[in-house]
Amino acid sequence: MSIFQQLERFVKNTFKTTVAIFLEALKLSPNAQGYVSGSVTELLLKQHIEERGYEVEKIREKWEGPKHPNHHGDFYFSKKGMNRWFVLESKGIKSNSEKWHKLFNRSKLIQFLYDYHSIIRWIDQTKDIENQIIQWVDQNLPLFQTKYNTTLYEYEEIQKFLQNRPKRETDKSRAIDALKDYSREEIGAMISERLDYIRSKLGVLETHFVSGTSGRSGRT
């Protein structure tokens, strides 16, 4: 049985639909994509560790009774032949960091690169940081000076602003006036177009904080 046939059977048995419908549903659900991405990350990490001579056991998602405070994570792992086991939590890379930080606007992109200039290898830390970043953006992403030189806002922020519009005109009010007649889908398409352009030159590697850091869980 081929991989596609296995996928087809799994989708039919689990979701009672076709692969085509399943794929469309997955595309429409960022949350579902996030869960799948996390599972893929876990599986690849498990294989990576096992290939290096370690034993790996999955920690169950649902426990009967309270989970031991030191056992919060995804895997137990141990070097073969040793008696000590360790707990490991796998954190996948966020898939929407560029959008989350609003890097589809030139000013946000420059500020973001400035905030993290110390870990960007092409920046000479002994010279003017901001000027290097501006030159890099203008050379590598020149459409930010022409086609993408206006400020974009997400649909929800536009609607919220319009409901409580200030009387005084500002740069933000002028930018939102230019966007107010666009639909959610049109705004989303404009943002996606810019994000695709940005990702042709850079990508943000960022992960979530470990969850469950309350006093009860004993994690900080």
Domain boundary among 88, 121, 137: 88
Comparing 67 with 129, the larger pLDDT belongs to 129
Structure tokens at 122: 């092409």
Structure tokens at 124: 């000479």
Q: With b meaning 16 or more CB within 10 Å and e meaning fewer, what string describes 150-187?
A: ebbbbbeebeebeeeeeeeeeeeeebbeebeeeeeeeb
Predicted local confidence at residue 211, as pLDDT: 60
Residue 174 resides in a domain: yes
pLDDT class for 219, splitting at 50, 70, 90?
A: low
173 lies in which domain range?
A: 97-199
In angstroms, the Cα distances linking 104 to 169, 170, 175 are 23, 20, 14
Are 22 and 105 members of one domain?
Answer: no
Are 185 and 141 members of one domain?
Answer: yes
Q: Are strands 86-88 and 54-58 parallel, antiparallel or unpaired?
A: unpaired
Structure tokens at 202: 């850079």
Residue 219 resides in a domain: no
Are 64 and 11 members of one domain?
Answer: yes
For the chain, the average pLDDT equals 90
37-46 tens-digit pLDDT: 888 889 999 9
Residue 182 resides in a domain: yes
Comparing 217 with 185, the larger pLDDT belongs to 185
Three-state DSSP state, 51: coil
Residue 208 resides in a domain: no
Helix (H) or strand (E) holding 58, with range, is strand 54-58
What lies within 8 Å, CB to CB, of 213 at 6+ separation is: 219, 220
Predicted local confidence at residue 218, as pLDDT: 55
Are 16 and 41 members of one domain?
Answer: yes
Are 82 and 147 members of one domain?
Answer: no
Predicted local confidence at residue 147, as pLDDT: 96
Q: What are the φ and ψ backbone dihedral angles of 86, each rounded to 5 degrees?
A: -120, 160
Q: Quote the pTM value.
A: 0.71
pLDDT at 61 over 90: no
163-216 tens-digit pLDDT: 998 889 999 999 999 999 999 999 999 999 999 999 999 999 988 766 655 555
Three-state DSSP state, 54: strand
The amino acid at residue 83 is N
pLDDT at 79 over 80: yes
Q: How many domains does the chain have?
A: 2
Are 112 and 46 members of one domain?
Answer: no
DSSP annotation of 182 reads S
Helix (H) or strand (E) holding 98, with range, is helix 97-100
Are 101 and 70 members of one domain?
Answer: no
117-166 tens-digit pLDDT: 999 999 999 999 999 999 999 999 999 999 999 999 999 999 999 999 88
Residue 47 resides in a domain: yes
pLDDT class for 60, splitting at 50, 70, 90?
A: confident
Structure tokens at 100: 């989350």
